Amino acid sequence: MRILGIDLAAKENNITGVCLMENFFCKVMTIHTDIEILSVVNEFKPKLLAVDAPLSLENRKCDIMLKKYGAMPLKVKSIRELAVRAINLVSEIKIDKRIKVIEVFPTATAKILRIYDKKFKSRLENLMNFVELDSKCLLSDDEFDAFMCSFTGLLFQKKLAIGVGDSFGKIYIPKEDKLSSCYELLKQIEIEV
């Protein structure tokens, strides 16, 4: 299954990380504009889109439930801007009914999988314990998060993720009681920048 993970920036002039995953092979990159994102979607033709951005503007229980992992509410101006951009972008993408869209939270995924560290270099080292990644690979923070988005999408597809929230918004994260299965999948992945 083709999975596209997007670590969306609130504004187009900021960096958006993208990870294209197919058959355990990932290609990560950074882009900026909605036009670039739509172009990647049209070219890659994913079956699943896993986005790190709020996909609703309602009172979201999922943000409260995932606060312990660092989720921020929509009352934060930059998060609201991010939500508006994401909703507009996803409405364009959902024109293609074959693409399933889910909201993910890469920081929560990394923390649950015990990969997260405040120091980015340590996060990369933790990831390299599982994933085939060239030690000279210059994976950026945005690309790391985009990879975590795609991986959460893979967990969703394999029924190893759970939706946290309610009808106003759900964020998918790894099932904590299925970590050994999550790690087995993680070990099969190869990342290219």
CA dist 107 and 112 (Å) reads: 9
Beta carbons within 8 Å of 37's beta carbon, 6+ residues apart: 6, 8, 16, 18, 31, 89
In tens, the pLDDT along 168-185 reads 899 999 999 999 999 999
Cα 152 from chain centre: 6
Cα→Cα distances 2→26, 181, 185, Å: 10, 20, 15
pLDDT for the residue numbered 135: 56
Average pLDDT over residues 14-32: 96
Terminal C-alpha separation, the chain = 20
pLDDT for the residue numbered 71: 94
Q: 134 vs 10, which has greater pLDDT?
A: 10
Sign of CA dihedral 139, 17, 32, 83: negative
94-133: b or e for each residue (b if 16 or more CB lie within 10 Å)? eeeeebbbbbbbbbbbbbbbebbeeeeeebbebbbebbeb
Identify the helix (H) or strand (E) that includes residue 35.
helix 34-44
Q: pTM for the whole thing?
A: 0.95
CATH of the domain at 24: 3.30.420.10
Average pLDDT over residues 50-75: 94
Number of structural domains (the chain) is 1
Average pLDDT, the chain: 94
List the domain range (segments joined by +) for residue 44: 2-192
Contact 10, 57 (CB under 8 A): no
In tens, the pLDDT along 80-137 reads 999 999 999 999 998 778 899 999 999 999 999 999 999 988 998 899 888 876 655 6
